[in-house]
Each structure stands twice: as C-alpha cells, then as structure tokens.
Amino acid sequence: MGIIPGAMGAKSFIVRGLGNPESFDSCSHGAGRVMSRTQARREVTLAEHVAATEGVACRKDEGVIDESPRAYKPIEAVMAAQSDLVEIVHTLKQVVCVKG
C-alpha cells in the first residue's frame, strides 16, 4: 500500500502495488515537476496560482509560486502511465495543503 500525492490543489491516491519486477516493485512517488522552481517563479502568476488552488485552504502568495500546480505534471497522466505498477484503491480530494 502507498500514497501518491498530486500537486498542490490536485488529487492524491491510495494505491496497492502490483509487484511489477520490471520496475523493481516500485512506482512514482508523486506528480513530478514539469518546471524548475526558478522557471515556475518566472512564469506562474499569482492570479494563476490562486485560481489553480481554488477550494483548497493553502497559502496563496508569491512565496509558494514554485509549488503551484502548473509546475507539476497532471496527476491523472502520471497515474495512467503506471497502471501496470499500481491499483488505485481510493482517490483523495485535497482540501488543505501546508507549505513553508
């Protein structure tokens, strides 16, 4: 059993490993970045961050722009890419995120 978190404001998943020896019985440990922290600070606006985290109690200031959801891969795509590695047991909807 494991937990695979999405980005700030995204879903997370409780999973059961399928024991795939080709992946050393492992899977991803999260969404993974598509932007470096520096790139995210340059490209993601505060307005985008606020909109992306609507409905989630979290920091909505310049200090967490590098953690904004746009800086990460879509968790649904990450989960689809590892369907041979894990079985989704439960989907969690994020309602709070504590950063910095």
3-state secondary structure string across the chain? CEEECCCCCCCEEEEEECCCHHHCCCCCCCCCECCCHHHHHHHCCHHHHHHHCCCCECCCCHHHHHHCHHHECCHHHHHHHCCCCEEEEEEECCCECCCC
This prediction's pTM: 0.85
Would you kindly state where each structural domain of the chain is located, as residue ranges? 2-92
Kindly tell me if the per-residue pLDDT of 9 is higher than 90: no
Catalytic residue among 16, 29, 37, 90: 29
Both structure tokens of 84: 């041979």
Is position 29 annotated as part of the catalytic site? yes
Give the pLDDT confidence of 13-48 residue by residue, as tens digits. Answer: 999 999 999 999 999 999 999 999 999 999 999 999
Kindly tell me if the per-residue pLDDT of 100 is higher than 60: no
